[in-house]
Structure 1
Amino acid sequence: MTRLLFREDAYLREAEAEVLGHTAEGGIVVDASIFYATGGGQPGDSGMIRWTGGRMAIATALRIEGGLIALVPAEAVALPPVGAKILQQIDWARRYGHMRMHSALHLLSVVIPLPVTGGQIGADKGRLDFMMPEPPTDVAALNEALNRLIARDMAVTTRYISEAELAAQPELVKTMSVQPPKGQGAVRLVQIGEIDLQPCGGTHVARSAEIGHVEIGRIENKGKQNRRVSLLLLD
């Protein structure tokens, strides 16, 4: 399995790894990855890798069979050989935007306490889809409540519980479209202060104040029971 360095320390900007192999599509399989692999509505990280005699831009990272991660080159160039030691460097500004937005969306699910049917994370804009038959009547009040939570500078922490424990607490799962992975023995939980706790494998800030000021953008009708709520990072 690939060691998930991005999960051990979301603030790590560069790290070494060894090339384990290549995929048929031209991906670079590594033994440890600082690049977050696409999943849970969060895009894979981009950046650069360097090795003796070469360098390459990385467009994203993907999970593949066997618990491995493959780095996807931005261009079709010669791959580092199997066994090569590489230095991984992520696009930190983009990653940090994802971290801020991901934590902000968790708090959005607190101020709009409805089932979540989908979501997407960007570096400066994200969204959650809610089971919401009628639009909110006071968006300004939601904005105020959300930014008030952010300003409380709550700690964002992680811990693990067993799959059996999660099954006994189904209320922890807010997302109807994406369920926590099964068969791994443990489920990662992300907690923000004492107000939010939910399964999540993504990267987050360490404290809520790092999110900065946000604003709810467009609220779109996405079906009879669903509405899409956009969120913007303003600073």
Structure 2
Amino acid sequence: MTSPLFLEDAYRRTAPARVTEIGAQGGIVLDQSLFYATSGGQPGDTGRLIWDGGETAIATTVKDENGAIVLVPAEGETLPGVGAEVTQDIDWERRLGHMRVHTALHLLSVVIPLSVTGGSISESKGRLDFDMETPPEDKEALSEALNRLVADDLPVTESWITEEELDANPGLVKTMSVQPPRGAGRIRLIRIGDAERQVDLQPCGGTHVARTGEIGRLRIGKIEKKGAQNRRVYLHLED
């Protein structure tokens, strides 16, 4: 299986790799990947692969039916051969936007402490769907609460627990629609805050900024009704 370099260092922009497989549809599998594959509402990374004598633009990154990370080249691009040594170069500004928004959505689940039923992420905005019968009365107050957490510049760190430990602590899972991936025997947790002041702890396989101060100023956008018990809350980066 491909080693997920994006979990080791979300800030790394380039890395070497070796092509281990070219799929029937032209998808490229590497021995180690900086490219994050679409999952959990976060889009797959884009960028390019460079090798001696060529390069190819990567349009997106996905997981196949076996869970392998597959880089999808743009249409008409030249492909490297199996065994080729390549350099990975991700679209950093796009990735950083995803990291800022993803961490901001974790904060949104703090200021709106309700079960999450869905979500999505883009470079400059995101949204969460909540099990919420009535909408919040004061969007400005929510925005202010979010920006206080950003201004506090809290650390964002990871740790790992076993699947059995997660089963013993079901309250860690905020999302009703997406459950943490299982089968590897352990679950990755993202913590915002520290031992003195922990504001959030939940399973997550996505990429995040190292401190909340890197998110920048936030604004709550529109809130839409999506069913009798569901509200969609949009969140925007303002800088």
Q: TM-score range by the shorter chain?
A: over 0.9
1:208 to 212, 220, 224: 212
The equivalent of 1:226 in structure 2 is 230
- In the TM superposition, residue 77 of structure 1 has moved relative to its aligned partner by 2.5
Q: What residue ranges of structure 1 are gaps of 5+ in the alignment?
A: none
The equivalent of 1:28 in structure 2 is 28
Is 1:37–1:62's contact at 8 Å kept on the other side of the alignment?
A: yes
TM (norm. structure 2) is 0.97
SS of 2:144's partner is helix
- In the TM superposition, residue 113 of structure 1 has moved relative to its aligned partner by 0.3
Distance 1:66 1:214 in 2: 37
Is 1:120–1:128's contact at 8 Å kept on the other side of the alignment?
A: yes
| CA deviations over 1:32-87 (Å, ceiling 9, x no partner) | 10000100000000011101111111011112255421110012223100000010
Is 1:124–1:233's contact at 8 Å kept on the other side of the alignment?
A: yes
- In the TM superposition, residue 187 of structure 1 has moved relative to its aligned partner by 0.1
Distance 1:69 1:140 in 2: 40
TM (norm. structure 1) is 0.98
The equivalent of 2:6 in structure 1 is 6
Distance 1:63 1:184 in 2: 16
Distance 1:115 1:168 in 2: 18
Distance 1:210 1:78 in 2: 37
Is 2:28–2:70's contact at 8 Å kept on the other side of the alignment?
A: yes
Q: Percent identity?
A: 64
Q: Which amino acid aligns with 2:8?
A: E
| CA deviations over 1:72-110 (Å, ceiling 9, x no partner) | 001222310000001000010000000000000000000
Is 1:2–1:67's contact at 8 Å kept on the other side of the alignment?
A: no
Does residue 53 of the first structure (1) align with residue 53 of the second (2)? yes
Q: Which amino acid aligns with 1:116?
A: V
Is 2:55–2:78's contact at 8 Å kept on the other side of the alignment?
A: no
Does residue 79 of the first structure (1) align with residue 58 of the second (2)? no
- Tell me the number of residue pairs that the alignment of Structure 1 and Structure 2 aligns: 235
Is 2:218–2:235's contact at 8 Å kept on the other side of the alignment?
A: yes
SS of 2:35's partner is coil
Q: What residue ranges of structure 2 are gaps of 5+ in the alignment?
A: none
User: After superposition, where does 1:19-168 map in structure 2 within 5 Å?
Assistant: 19-168=19-168
Distance 1:206 1:184 in 2: 25
SS of 1:230's partner is strand
CA RMSD of aligned residues (A): 0.8
- In the TM superposition, residue 20 of structure 1 has moved relative to its aligned partner by 0.4
Is 2:63–2:70's contact at 8 Å kept on the other side of the alignment?
A: yes
